[in-house]
A and B are shown apart, each in its own frame.
Chain A
Amino acid sequence: MSEFDESAEAELTADEAALLDALPELSESGEARRQFLGQAAALGLGALAVNLLAREQAYAWMETSTEAAAPAQIENGVTVAMKINGAEKSLTVDSRMTLLDGLRERLELTGSKKGCDHGQCGACTVIVDNRRVLSCLTLAATCEGKSVTTIEGLANGDALHPMQTAFVKHDGFQCGYCTPGQICSAVALINEAKNGEVSYVTANVRTNAKNVKLSDDEIRERMSGNICRCGAYPNIVAAIREVHSGTEVAQTWNLHQPNEDSAENMEDEKDATV
């Protein structure tokens, strides 16, 4: 905000005043927003720029104050202490707040994604006490004493988790929105196989064995709670297969130089390599 002259004041135009009312995310910052928009108007910014800047400021205001960002009004507050990616955290939440919203909006861990918010897509998957769960159907209030690992907690500094590396190598995503959930899910899946857990496609649930070797069918069944709208499934399976087997699997994709004079040829090559 340093680029604005703190002392600048100006009247709002009718358009700007209307815009102000149409920006609910600013409604809680009261005086500050009026002053800000006044400043913006004084600097002669157009309505669009005001909109963008105002939004940006609103988000910055929300983000800069993790502790202060506790919503002004919490109904039925519950104070929970839990371990998030190894660090002790304590916060007071509205009883309605899900773990997903707590992570994203109170703890600035926006890696876990809100896809459907109804337990159907898996984008919000995190690992709680060594089990993969859906953070959108977990109330933060129920997490007292629990240990939560999110996508942000998998890498060791700059060294990616092997599953992250494998997803990059095998191009296990396109838009990337489902990826944090996919990776958390896959990391837990590897442990489940080590523990000898069974699935619906396991040939015989009565056979007991640790370190189950998973077929691609098994990987697909065990990952069925994670939806990928882009359809990167073959590459996701390849990445998991590599980490699970511990042996390198060849990439199935390739960056081709398209043949300059033939768009058709390019299509052929794409088909052949995907």
Chain B
Amino acid sequence: MKANLTPGPKDGPEREALRAFLRQWNVGAPPPDLEEDLRRTFRRRRRSVRRPAVWLALAAGIALVALSQVVRTQRPAPPARPVVEASPLSAPAAPPESSPVVGRAERTVAAAPPACVHRARVPAPAAHEVIVEPGQAELLAQLGRELRMVQPEAPRTTALRIETVPSDAQDAPIPQMPTTDALAYRARWETVEGEWPFVHRAVPGSGR
């Protein structure tokens, strides 16, 4: 750094005269109360920085408490009784466990959760089941595989569950549908006639 106010070897007399002239204006030191002013500014600033932090922590705590209250009040109450899903296909006199037909009545919630458990588990909706003759199971399985291959991400498709009935299984009588149920069944399916199956493809090798 060059000391500009001190004469240099290259400085001419004009530059020296100019400096001598400028040197006649001396400015004193800053007033001593300026330091105390700055200290006060610093403390005020530090307080203003701390205050939002305290309020933020307080607000976060209150929000957490309120959120926990809301969550507690919105918990579903445990069901008092087992829920049985009604189905138009289910017969009043459902066959016993030995029946080759998978009855919907079997998908009854096993038991109500004990009273001491606060959080009741809501049963997931069961997949629709198709009741078929034993000989059609293989065809349906093949169709399912093909559908899954063609439309792997088709919405609302569930995996087929094929239950193979042993050949020596005892034939169980197919439950008779009451007349009222049959009418309701027909009326229901007439509304969706032509919509199912939504993909109609011939199964290769089956001649269909």
Chain A bound to chain B: no
Q: Which residues of B contact A (CB under 8 A)?
A: none
